[in-house]
Structure 1
C-alpha cells in the first residue's frame, strides 16, 4: 500500500505534489473524513522526494506544517462554536476515537493535544474535542503547533534519512514517530517528577518555617 501511494504521488509535478500534500495535512484534522487520509505516508514521500531533490525541504516542510496547524484551528473553532461533537453514530469508529480524545483531554488537558498528534486517528478527533471541551485557545494553539511541527518533521526526516529507498522508508514507517514519541514522553515524565519533587521540597520548607 505504501509503495502504491508513493508511485501515485511521485508521478505528479512537484508543485502539484506539494499542493496535494498540504491539502491532505489540512483535511486530516479539519474534517472527520481525515481518518482516510494517508498523512504519515505522504510525509514520508515528501522526505523521500526531498532527498532526491524533487521537493526542497525548506519549502515543503513549512508548507505542510502550516497546513496542519490551519486544519487543527478549523476543527478547534468548529468544536468551540458548536460546543458539541459532530454528529456521528455511537457505534462508529469516529465516535470511539472521539471518546478517546475526550478522555485524554480530561486527564491531561493541553499536553493531551500534543501527544494525540502521535496517535493515529486520535489526532483527527483531538482538535474538535479540544474546542468542544472549552480548552483555552492559546493553550490549544501552543500544544497543537508543537505537536504538528515535531510529528511532521520526524516523518519527513525519516523519509529523507531513508536515502530515497522505498523499502527502507516502508520499513521505518511509524517507527520514527514512535521513537520520537517515546523520547518526548520520557522528557515529560522527567519534568513532572522534577516539578513534584520541587513542590514537595517547598512544602517541607514551609512546614519547617511554621515549626520554627
Structure 2
C-alpha cells in the first residue's frame, strides 16, 4: 500500500506537468517532443520540468529512454527553427527601423550586436541552448543575421541534445523524486534571470546618465553661443 501511494504521489495531476503527461499518454515520446517544441516558442513553459518528467515516464516503462532523448531533441530543433524563421522574416532592415523607434537604443547598438554575432554567433547558438530563456531567444538574431541554416540546425541539435540528455537522465535516475530536478534548475534559472535584469538595468542607467550629460553639454554650448 505504501509503495502504491508513493508512486501515485510522484505522478503529476495538473498544471504543466499534467498537460505534458496527457501528451505523452496520447502520443508517447513524440508528445514529449511536441511539449519541448512549444517550450521553445513559449519560454514560460519550463523545459527543466518537462524533460525530467519524460525521463520519469521512461523509467516507468511507458516509453523508451532513447526515444525520450531523441524526440525531445527533435522538438528543440523544430521550435528553434520556427523562431529562426521569424528572425529571417523580420530581417535586418525591419530590425533597424524598429531599433530606430526605441528609446535608449540606436542603430549603432544593433551594428555592434551584429559584429559580435558575426564573430561569436556559433558559440552563442550552441551554448545558448543550455541557458534558460536565452535558449529560445538566440534563434531570432540567428535568423535576422541569416546564419547558415545547416550550421544553425547542427549547433542547435548538438547543444539541445546535451541539455535534454542531462535532464532526461536525471528524471530517469531519480524516479519518483524527479520533481527535485526542477527545484535545482529553477534556482539556476533565477540566477540567470537576475543577471539579465541587472544587465538591463545597468544599460538603462548608463544610457540615461549619458543622455543627461549630452543635454547639459548642449545647453551649455547653446548658452555660450548666445552670450557671444
Fold-level match, TM-score > 0.5?
Answer: yes
**TM-score with structure 1 setting the length:** 0.62
The aligned residue for residue 64 of structure 1 is 72
The aligned residue for residue 111 of structure 1 is 123
Q: Residue 141 of structure 1: which of 153, 156, 168 is its match?
A: 153
Pair 1:172–1:144, CA change in 2 (3 A) = same
RMSD (CA atoms): 3.5
Pair 1:166–1:59, CA change in 2 (3 A) = closer
Shift of 1:54: 2.2
Residues 134-193 of structure 1: CA deviation (Å, up to 9, x unaligned): 22222212211111111111110111121332454345446899xxxxxxxxxxxxxxxx
Q: Residue 181 of structure 2: which of 169, 181, 189 is its match?
A: 169
| Number of residue pairs aligned between Structure 1 and Structure 2 | 164
SS at match of 2:176: coil
**TM-score with structure 2 setting the length:** 0.58
Shift of 1:7: 5.2
Q: Residue 130 of structure 1: which of 116, 130, 142 is its match?
A: 142
Counterparts in 2 of 1:83-102, with a 5 A limit?
83-84=91-92
Pair 1:72–1:140, CA change in 2 (3 A) = same
How many angstroms apart in 2 are the aligned matches of 1:16 and 1:173?
26
The aligned residue for residue 25 of structure 2 is 14
The aligned residue for residue 43 of structure 1 is 51
How many angstroms apart in 1 are the aligned matches of 2:159 and 2:183?
23
SS at match of 1:164: helix
How many angstroms apart in 1 are the aligned matches of 2:152 and 2:39?
17
> Is residue 37–residue 79 contact of structure 2 (8 Å, CA) maintained in 1?
yes
Matched, 1:81 2:92: no
Pair 1:169–1:106, CA change in 2 (3 A) = same
The aligned residue for residue 24 of structure 1 is 35
